[in-house]
Amino acid sequence: MKILVILPAFLPIDDIRKTVDQIMPGIEIRTDMDFEKDDAEVVVITTFTRFGREEIDKFPNLKFLQVSSTGYNNVDVKYLKSKNIILSNIPRANKDAVAEHVIAMVLAFLKNLIFFDREIRSGEWPLLTNSTELNGKIFGIIGMGAIGIKLVQKLIPFGPGIIYYDVKRLSGEDEELYGLTYMELDDVLKNSDIISVHLPLTENTMKLFDDKHFSMMKDNSIFINTSRGEIMDENALINAIKTKNIYAGIDVYSREPPDFSSELFKLDNVIFSPHIAGVTVESQQRFLQETIGNLIKYTQGLEPLYQIKGDL
């Protein structure tokens, strides 16, 4: 059974190859798809590799596609399913990394770290601060999957009230265990001091955060998006920052790299990161370990974990 791994060139390919060879020798690793056809039955990619109809057709023998990441919107899932190809992702390996990234962005805003850093670098010495504490704030989470739950677990010691919305409500036992209050989306937006988004990109979530939903948020509230850039309307976010003094922590963009001429990058109330919320040394090790584990399952005739049953 031929297994082909396609990775972006910026990863430590030699180190990855050595690790893979120790466990599953003979796997081919490439950094490109510059070929017409390949007879691989199993292909591994990341979110950095487009895998649409054209790419899928390069693999006439493909039976199993493993996306070594949480997201898989780079894959033409509908076409893949029409060819009865199994698709799996790795949905849990980066949950700690993303949750910590969210909290880091929130604390940077609450503690005015960017302002203080800028002032001191310019030779000023601020004597007053309007820094506030996370304790007592209302923290709204949109999307309560694996990352949402991990964020809740890490937030509990800070002492905020936590409310959430998800299309699938948690059990009463879980809500009681974590001290969560379920609300409809509009009510979460209206009541939260901080909003963190953890949703997959679907037809229903595309540009979910538009002028209507941003207008429901409190003035001076914090909006964090580490899920998918297409979930928010960039112009609506810009308008909310300018008219409601919204603070935004943005890790994902509808186009990556983004259009740096956008007005968004000229606003002071924003912290940017380059789609790396889930990228830590530890999370990449977990992605690699879980990917290899799933490949071993499949090659042994077992059902791979985390199969994607529907389309985006």
Sheet containing strand 247-250, edge to edge, reads 180-182, 161-165, 138-142, 194-197, 222-225, 247-250, 270-272
Is residue 92 within 8 Å of residue 146, measured between CB atoms? yes
Is residue 155 within 8 Å of residue 183, measured between CB atoms? no
Q: How far apart are CA 183 and CA 209, in angstroms?
A: 17
Q: What is the pLDDT of residue 309?
A: 80
Q: How far apart are CA 147 and CA 124, in angstroms?
A: 39
Alpha carbon 252 to its chain's center: 8
Look up residue 300 and give its two tokens.
């042994």
Q: Which of 41, 38, 46 is nearest to 6 (CA)?
A: 46
Question: Which H or E run contains 229?
Answer: none
Give the CATH number of domain 95-272; options: 3.40.50.620, 2.40.50.1070, 3.60.130.10, 3.40.50.720.
3.40.50.720
Global pTM reads 0.90
- CATH code of the domain made up of 3-93+280-299: 3.40.50.720
Alpha carbon 173 to its chain's center: 27
Note whether 3-93+280-299 and 95-272 share their fold: yes
Q: Where are the domains of the chain?
A: 3-93+280-299, 95-272
User: Active-site residue numbers?
Assistant: 228, 256, 275
pLDDT tens sequence for the chain (312 residues): 999 999 999 888 998 999 899 999 999 999 999 999 999 999 999 988 999 999 999 999 999 999 999 889 899 999 999 999 999 999 999 999 999 999 999 999 999 999 999 999 999 999 888 899 999 999 999 999 999 999 999 999 999 999 999 999 999 999 999 999 999 999 999 999 999 999 999 999 999 999 999 999 999 999 999 999 999 999 999 999 999 999 999 999 999 999 999 999 999 999 999 999 999 999 989 999 999 999 999 999 999 999 998 644
Helix 281-299, helix 95-110: angle, nearest 10: 160
